[in-house]
């Protein structure tokens, strides 16, 4: 094996005393300019994120930038260069989202409280009221490349001077003039000019200023709210006021009622209190939690039993066509899950589905798969078993090979049948390596959001709840629907539930990890 | 092989084959049904397994070609399935390449270099991979929403955003590749080191050529996983033209717009290549799964 002996900018971490080579090589120059461009791009993002009111993300990107420059710029972090990119990816796209989701659980973030305080205030300050009594229709008269604005005010015709409509803000004085002979522009031409028109203020001969109040008219407009020094928004029309309430994240009117839109504020444990004490949320939550556990446990038991049964049959040396069976049996695992789940959604359809068509033809029944809670739960389990048994079968076939054949022979000599020898010999030997995988499988199904979202979307709904909750919803799909359903998004509540799931997942992960450790130790595998 | 009574053996064989065949009929029923549905006319027809009037209209639509029925009605494709498939493959290939680079370099460091907290980081990776992306969708949505306000390349509806978020799917692969690197004879590193190679050169010229098989396996596994990923793709990609297959396929089966026949053809057409790749890779899959999961 030949190894090129070119100069490398970083010293060898194994032979620590190597002399640092000439720093002005082409390679070094390239490296530093790449680093420079990269960090400039990152710094621009930091700055823009900070301006956009996202200090957390700005800090993360800044940390990334510092990390990249330190690790790739300084020779002593040579080793870290190998793992830094991987750790950064995991940190930014797994760890940060987990922390950020939990953080959202302590805020009121949602469709009612979407923006920052500054942007909500800005929205109120941009509110205008149109004075209907000053509303005047307008026409646009083309004048070569330029245009004139024409306003009819009673019997008078008011005309502006000729202007080039090019989006610069303009104040145009109007004066009484004879009606021009040119035809005014058609409506569709006016629509094309609407962004340019929005910049225009017309000044009437009496000094009133008119702004566009639609595609057909100009009118005098006035800002509704005026910002007072103490932060209160004073309504200039009816003299009421809006007071910012940083606790609720809303402006409240004089009677104390919140006025939408609100902004994001921390609410402490309120979302968690809602989960624990609000009946409309707690009851479906408990039900969904229990179903999640039942679903994950039964999925694990069914796929494991079925997979192991098939693996045992396929391991039987007298059986012919074993490899053909094997390929056909793993097909459900080979087809992308998002396709097969949707296929089942269609097959189980109550009206057009093939399954009901056959059941109706043979038994004369048409079960309501998606509206009966128990049937809906049954199909999630059926489909999940169908999807999951090949994985267990493949693993089982691997582990079955590690059981010495002498054990079976001895059992056969003792007169044990296949069932007896399976439970007395096979199972005890293959269960220990299986345990961590079974725990991982449980954890996977505990959060098998894809299956539920694509198959039932939680249907049928639980009646009498204040949030969208379904009989087949598991915790994960439940939070997905709270966050991304069309009817009002409640990121705060979803974040709080996710935080609870994170705690459960962390416990499962730790248990799984210990189980793996113990197994590895027992086998004497050096770590 | 345990010697058994010939007559008993025949009964057992008969039972085993009978069970497997019956089981396969039930298990494979959905595939046969979908094939049959894709050949039926219209989106609501029910009927026997072998369609009476087979038509290729759904297949034509799935390929993006408008179809003219015998009575003159013209059907236009409801969704750009081929574009979706292309998006999926593009995102899958680029992201898998990234995943491979990140996990290989990290695995090399974990296998051969000495640094602080090494075992701690390795163990944390194993625990972190249990946290599913589906639970952090709000955060991912918020991250890419605010990045998108700065540069649309990293915003929602951008494939680069999706690829970037997919780069985190490396935790198990690091373990798999590390397991393989561990099995490479340390004498080879020693020899390279004596010849004056830096760790990077050892990695590039000794380890990489030796581990091409495992790298191919990791690439294919990662590709299959990413091409079929649904939750993140579904919240990041909302524009029809940008969707991946996984994000878009659900649109066929909305209550209000139920395109069963069109879906069947599109599902077979787009599912076949992925299934084929999977079947080719499946023998390696098992070893990868059990290595990543069990081998300490």
**Can you give the pLDDT at residue A375?**
94
Average pLDDT over residues A290-305: 95
* Residues contacting residue B215 through CB under 8 Å, at least 6 positions apart: B100, B104, B177, B208
Q: Which fold has domain A26-104?
A: Methane Monooxygenase Hydroxylase; Chain G, domain 1 (1.20.58)
The two structure tokens encoding residue B155: 């915003």
Instruction: Please indicate, yes or no, if residue B1 is contained in any of the structural domains.
Output: no
In chain B, which residue's Cα lies nearest the Cα of A323?
B283
The CA distance from B239 to the nearest CA of chain A, in Å, is 16
Q: Minimal Cα distance from B107: which residue of A?
A: A83
DSSP string across A445-464? HHT-HHHHHHHTTTPSBPTT
Q: Which two tokens stand for residue A273?
A: 């209190």
Residues B21 and B160 in one domain: no
Residues B105 and B62 in one domain: no
A393 band by pLDDT with thresholds 50, 70 and 90: very high
Between chains, do A3 and B197 touch, taking CB under 8 Å as contact? yes
Number of domains in chain B: 2
**Same domain, residue pair B172 and B208:** yes
Positions of E strands within A187-337: 200-203, 209-212, 217-223, 225-227, 233-235, 241-245, 250-252, 258-259
Domain-terminating residue out of B60, B75, B90: B75
Whether B238 and chain A come into contact, CB under 8 Å, resolves to no
CA–CA dist B186, A17 (Å, integer): 22
Q: Which residue has the tokens 């070569």?
A: A144
Give the DSSP letter of residue A180.
P
Contact yes or no for A493/A512 (Cβ under 8 A): no
| In a shared domain, residues B68 and B96 | no
Q: Which residues of B touch A527 (CB under 8 A)?
A: 119, 296
Kindly state the percentage of chain A with pLDDT values over 90: 28
User: Which has more pLDDT, A485 or B46?
Assistant: A485
Same domain, B270 and B123: yes
- Full strand arrangement of the beta sheet holding A258-259: A225-227, A233-235, A241-245, A250-252, A258-259
pLDDT for residue A322 is more than 60:
yes
Per residue in A482-497, pLDDT (tens digit) is: 888 766 788 999 999 9
Q: Residues of A with CB below 8 A from B151's CB?
A: 45
Q: What is the CATH number of the domain that holds B128?
A: 1.10.3720.10
Residue B139 sits in the same domain as residue B188: yes
Domain boundaries, chain A: 26-104, 128-223, 276-523
Whole-model pTM?
0.82
If asked whether residues B99 and B154 sit together in one domain, one would say yes
Structural domain ending residue among the three candidates B57, B75, B93: B75
Q: Which of A4, A328, A440 sits opposite B28 (nearest CB)?
A: A328
B275 and B207 in one domain? yes
Contacts with A505 from chain B: Cβ below 8 Å: 130-132, 135
Residue B169 lies in a domain: yes
* Same domain (yes/no): B166, B274: yes
pLDDT for res B71? 81
Q: What is the ipTM of this complex?
A: 0.87
Q: State residue A203 phi and psi, 5-degree precision.
A: -110, 115
Q: What is the pLDDT of residues A70-118, one digit of tens each?
A: 998 888 888 889 999 999 999 999 999 999 999 999 999 888 888 888 8
The domain defined by A128-223 folds into Periplasmic binding protein-like II (2.40.430)
Chain A residues whose beta carbon lies within 8 Å of the beta carbon of residue B149: 48, 52
Q: A211 pairs with which residues across the strands?
A: A219
Residue A274 has pLDDT above 80, yes or no: yes
3.40.50.360, 1.10.3720.10, 3.40.190.80, 1.10.10.10: CATH of A276-523:
1.10.3720.10
**Looking at CA atoms only, how far is residue A129 from chain B in angstroms?**
30
Range of the domain at B14: 6-75
Is residue B118 domain-shared with residue B212, that is, in the same domain? yes
Same domain, B161 and B242: yes
Same-domain pairing of B175 and B276: yes
Closest CA to B171 of A435, A508, A87, A433: A87
What token pair was written down for B241?
A: 């033209």
Angle at B211 between CA B208 and CA B217, to 5 degrees: 120
| Helix (H/G/I), strand (E/B), else coil: B220 | helix
Touching check for B44 and chain A: CB below 8 Å? Answer: yes
Residue B210 has pLDDT above 80, yes or no: yes
Partners of A331 on chain B (C-beta within 8 Å) are: 27-28, 31, 275
pLDDT for A15-71, tens place per residue? 444 445 555 678 888 888 999 999 999 999 999 988 887 888 899 999 999 999 999
- Is position B202 within any domain? yes
Q: Is B122 on the interface with A (CB under 8 A)?
A: no
Which chain A residues have a beta carbon less than 8 Å from that of B294?
Answer: 433, 436-437, 516, 519-520
């Amino acid at each position: 094996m030949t190894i090129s002996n070119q100069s490398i900018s970083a010293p060898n971490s194994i032979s620590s005393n190597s002399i640092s080579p000439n720093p002005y090589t082409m390679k070094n120059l390239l490296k530093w300019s790449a680093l420079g461009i990269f960090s400039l791009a990152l710094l621009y993002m930091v700055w823009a994120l900070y301006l956009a009111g996202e200090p957390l993300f700005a800090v993360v990107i800044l940390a990334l930038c510092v990390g990249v420059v330190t690790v790739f710029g300084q020779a002593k972090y040579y080793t870290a260069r190998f793992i830094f990119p991987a750790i950064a990816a995991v940190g930014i796209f797994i760890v940060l989202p987990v922390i950020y989701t939990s953080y959202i659980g302590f805020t009121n973030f949602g469709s009612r409280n979407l923006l920052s305080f500054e942007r909500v205030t800005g929205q109120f300050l941009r509110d205008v009221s149109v004075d209907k009594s000053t509303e005047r229709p307008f026409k646009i008269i083309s004048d070569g490349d330029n245009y004139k604005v024409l306003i009819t005010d009673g019997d008078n015709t008011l005309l502006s001077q000729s202007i080039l409509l090019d989006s610069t803000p303009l104040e145009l004085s109007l004066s009484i003039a004879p009606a021009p002979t040119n035809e005014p522009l058609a409506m569709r031409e006016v629509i094309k000019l609407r962004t340019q028109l929005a910049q225009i203020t017309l000044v009437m001969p009496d000094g009133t200023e008119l702004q566009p109040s639609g595609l057909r008219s100009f009118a005098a407009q006035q800002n509704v709210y005026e910002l007072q020094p103490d932060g209160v928004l004073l309504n200039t029309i009816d003299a009421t006021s809006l007071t910012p309430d940083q606790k609720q994240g809303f402006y409240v009117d004089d009677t104390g009622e919140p006025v939408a839109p609100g902004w994001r504020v921390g609410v402490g444990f309120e979302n968690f209190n809602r989960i624990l004490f609000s009946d409309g949320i707690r009851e479906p939550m408990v039900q969904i939690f229990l179903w999640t556990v039942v679903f994950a446990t039964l999925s694990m038991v069914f796929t494991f039993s079925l997979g192991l049964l098939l693996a045992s049959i396929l391991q039987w040396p007298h059986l012919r066509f074993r490899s053909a069976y094997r390929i056909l049996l793993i097909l459900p695992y080979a087809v992308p899950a998002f396709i097969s789940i949707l296929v089942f959604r269609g097959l189980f359809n109550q009206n057009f589905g093939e399954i009901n068509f056959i059941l109706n033809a043979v038994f004369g029944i048409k079960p309501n798969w998606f509206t009966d809670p128990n049937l809906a739960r049954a199909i999630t389990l059926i489909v999940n078993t169908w999807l999951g048994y090949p994985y267990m079968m493949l693993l089982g076939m691997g582990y079955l090979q590690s059981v010495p054949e002498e054990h079976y022979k001895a059992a056969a000599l003792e007169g044990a049948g296949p069932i007896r020898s399976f439970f007395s010999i096979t199972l005890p030997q293959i269960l220990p390596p299986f345990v961590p995988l079974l725990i991982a499988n449980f954890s996977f199904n505990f959060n098998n959001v894809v299956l539920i979202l694509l198959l039932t979307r939680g249907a049928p709904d639980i009646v009498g709840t204040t949030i969208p909750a379904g009989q087949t919803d598991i915790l994960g799909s439940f939070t997905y629907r709270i966050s991304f359903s069309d009817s009002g998004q409640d990121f705060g509540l979803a974040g709080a539930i996710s935080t609870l799931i994170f705690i459960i997942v962390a416990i499962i992960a730790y248990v799984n990890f210990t189980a793996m450790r113990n197994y590895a130790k027992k086998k004497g595998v050096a770590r | 092989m345990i010697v058994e009574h010939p007559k008993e053996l025949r009964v057992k064989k008969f039972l085993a084959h009978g069970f497997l065949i019956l089981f396969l009929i039930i298990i494979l029923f959905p595939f046969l049904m979908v094939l049959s549905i894709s050949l039926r006319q219209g989106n609501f027809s029910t009927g026997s397994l072998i369609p009476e009037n087979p038509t290729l209209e759904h297949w034509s639509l799935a390929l993006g070609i408008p179809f003219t029925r015998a009575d003159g009605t013209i059907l236009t494709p409801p969704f750009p399935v081929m574009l979706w498939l292309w998006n999926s493959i593009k995102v899958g290939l680029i992201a898998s390449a990234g995943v491979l680079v990140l996990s290989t370099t990290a695995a090399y460091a974990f296998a051969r270099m000495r640094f602080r907290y090494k075992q701690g980081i390795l163990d944390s990776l194993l625990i972190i991979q249990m946290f599913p992306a589906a639970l952090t969708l709000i955060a991912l949505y918020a991250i890419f929403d605010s990045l998108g306000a700065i540069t649309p390349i990293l915003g929602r509806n951008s494939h680069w955003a999706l690829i970037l978020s997919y780069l985190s799917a490396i935790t198990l692969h690091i373990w798999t590749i590390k397991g393989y690197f561990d099995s490479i004879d340390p004498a080879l590193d020693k020899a390279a080191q004596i010849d004056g190679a830096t760790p990077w050169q050892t990695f590039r010229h000794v380890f990489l050529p030796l581990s091409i098989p495992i790298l191919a396996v990791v690439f294919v596994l990662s590709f299959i996983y990413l091409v079929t990923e649904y939750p993140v793709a579904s919240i990041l990609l909302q524009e029809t033209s940008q969707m991946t297959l996984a994000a878009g396929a659900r649109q066929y089966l909305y209550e209000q717009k139920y395109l069963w026949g069109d879906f069947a053809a599109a599902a077979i057409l787009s599912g076949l290549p992925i299934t084929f790749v999977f079947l080719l890779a499946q023998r390696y899959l098992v070893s990868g799964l059990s290595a990543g999961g069990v081998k300490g």
